[in-house]
Amino acid sequence: MGRYDLPAMVSAALSIAKRPKLNLIAWSQGNTQTLIAGSDPTVGPFLAHKIELWIALSPVSFLYDSSSTLLTLLSRFHLAGVLEAAFPYGILQGGPALSALETLLCKLTFGALCKLSVDLICGVSAADSTASLERLTAHFPAGCSVKDLNHYENFVDHQVFRKFNYGAVGNREEYGTATPPPYNMSHFQSSGIKLAIYAAGNDDLVNAKDLLRLESLFPPSLIQAQKLYDGFSHVTWMVGTTAAFQQWGGDVLNMLEEHVV
């Protein structure tokens, strides 16, 4: 998704808009993809010429201190491998597939996780609109590769932001080392892409300690804004009340006006 999908989407957007550059707004895993894309020696330079400003909403990167019920239970019970064997093509789809997953998780976690919902995956808060949350849950979750969750489980298990762990043998074949190497942020740091980080104070997925680990990867000269919104959940950006939107929406619009492309 970082190496192929993101640059393809950026190219498509610029082609439609007939513009040379754009400002990128990413939420949650979209920021994981952006980080990985920017660290790639081929994709990174491409994005450097196409993106002026990257606005990161609840950026997922390090997950060592995450309190997401789903991810912490995946880590505690080492479930990624089991889920991959049971659902080799993906999980978190709706309908019968989701029911089958919930049944399996309930057994594997001894009843700790029997129903997948927004609050168990990333948390909710009083800043979220009940009506908007109901609309979101009609489409959330909407599918995910097991390899995705396996990668995130590795971020929870270790205080790292590194490439996928294929095991010692697989890692030697893929990377030439027994352990996966960290993503090379030096490519990103030299790209000149400006960054604005907006975080949620009540975010179960993105913990404040993990956010500090992410921010430490970038020189202060590239960071245009860092703001924490008290009481926001991981999904408030999409389902927040009108009052919540007035808090963050204006900040993002002002940032975009300062970096017109």
Do residues 210 and 66 make contact, with C-beta atoms less than 8 angstroms apart? yes
Does residue 84 share a domain with residue 9? no
pLDDT, greater one: 185 or 240: 240
pLDDT of residue 186: 83
**Is residue 114 very low, low, confident or very high in pLDDT (cuts 50, 70, 90)?**
low
pLDDT of residue 98: 59
pLDDT above 90 (res 232): yes
State yes or no: cis peptide before 141, omega within 30 of 0: yes
Does residue 155 share a domain with residue 105? yes
Q: What is the DSSP letter of 234?
A: T
The length of the chain in residues reads: 261
pLDDT of residue 31: 96
Continuous H helices in 78-219: 80-86, 96-108, 118-121, 130-137, 146-157, 167-175, 186-189, 208-215
Share of the chain above pLDDT 90, in %: 54
Domain hosting residue 250, numbered range: 5-63+184-258
pLDDT of residue 157: 85
Q: Which of 175, 210, 242 is the last residue of a domain?
A: 175
Does residue 211 share a domain with residue 162? no
Phi, psi values for residue 159, rounded to 5°: -80, 65
Does residue 49 share a domain with residue 18? yes
Does residue 161 share a domain with residue 91? yes
Least confident stretch, 5-9, 154-158, 236-240: 154-158
Does residue 158 share a domain with residue 79? yes
pLDDT of residue 185: 85
Does residue 52 share a domain with residue 9? yes
pLDDT of residue 187: 77
Q: Report the CATH number at residue 194.
A: 3.40.50.1820
Question: Averaged over 232-241, what is the pLDDT?
Answer: 93
Tell me the helix, strand and coil percentages in the chain, rounded to 5. 50, 15, 40
Does residue 154 share a domain with residue 202? no
Name the average pLDDT for the chain: 86
**Is residue 171 very low, low, confident or very high in pLDDT (cuts 50, 70, 90)?**
very high
Number of structural domains in the chain: 2
pLDDT of residue 12: 98
Do residues 157 and 256 make contact, with C-beta atoms less than 8 angstroms apart? no
Q: pTM of the prediction?
A: 0.85
pLDDT of residue 147: 83
pLDDT above 60 (res 116): no
Question: Averaged over 227-247, what is the pLDDT?
Answer: 94
Q: Using one digit for the tens of pLDDT, what is the confidence trace for 54-113?
A: 999 999 999 988 888 777 777 766 777 777 777 776 666 555 655 666 666 666 665 655
SS (H, E, C) 101-115: HHHHHHHHCCCCCCC
User: Is the alpha carbon torsion for 45, 190, 30, 109 positive or negative?
Assistant: positive
Does residue 12 share a domain with residue 27? yes
Do residues 140 and 118 make contact, with C-beta atoms less than 8 angstroms apart? yes
Per the DSSP assignment, residues forming a β-bridge with 195 are: 54, 223
pLDDT above 70 (res 188): yes
What SS3 class is residue 249?
helix
Does residue 55 share a domain with residue 86? no
Does residue 75 share a domain with residue 58? no
Q: Which of 175, 207, 241 is the last residue of a domain?
A: 175
Phi, psi values for residue 238, rounded to 5°: -105, -35
For 155, the token pair is: 């971020």
Question: Averaged over 194-206, what is the pLDDT?
Answer: 93
Does residue 142 share a domain with residue 74? yes
Q: Choose from 105-114, 156-165, 166-175 the range with maximum mean pLDDT.
A: 166-175
